[in-house]
Amino acid sequence: MDVDREKVIRRVMRTVAREQARSPLPVRLEDGSSPLVVALPGDSVADVFERVGGFGGSANLIVAYAERLKLLSIELNASSETREPADVHPVASIGMLCDWLDCTPDGSAQIRINDAFAAPPVVRELAYAF
């Protein structure tokens, strides 16, 4: 883990510990725990959602910007009968997703990571001259 990410995680944990007394994290599992995933704005949506999947698909996500923290509630595989999911590129940044969510009427959305956007792997040939 790089030093910058470690500093960010420490800052987030201090803030969460202070705020827990006033308002608990919104996502709470059946066992009473509140899983927490910390992401930087440049982290890819696919990577962040993979980390959320490690908690069974539900987690509190804190995106740590330099000047603020943004809290999101993530429920993977949730469905909505009233909302059509928006397709998101797997390498889009979580910061871009947050910017888009800020523009939605209620600050929430149903999204789907669309692997069809992903380019096929590049085949690289290496040549060795002896």
Q: Is 36 helix (H, G, I), strand (E, B) or coil?
A: strand
Position 126 in a domain: no
Q: Total domain count for the chain?
A: 1
Q: What pTM was estimated for this model as a whole?
A: 0.78
Encode pLDDT of 67-82 as tens digits.
Answer: 899 999 988 877 766 6
Position 57 in a domain: yes
Contacts of 112 (CB under 8 A, 6+ apart): 85, 86, 87, 88
Range of the domain at 84: 3-116
Position 127 in a domain: no
Encode pLDDT of 29-68 as tens digits.
Answer: 889 899 999 999 999 999 999 999 999 889 999 999 988 9
The one-letter code for the residue type at 127 is: A
Position 130 in a domain: no
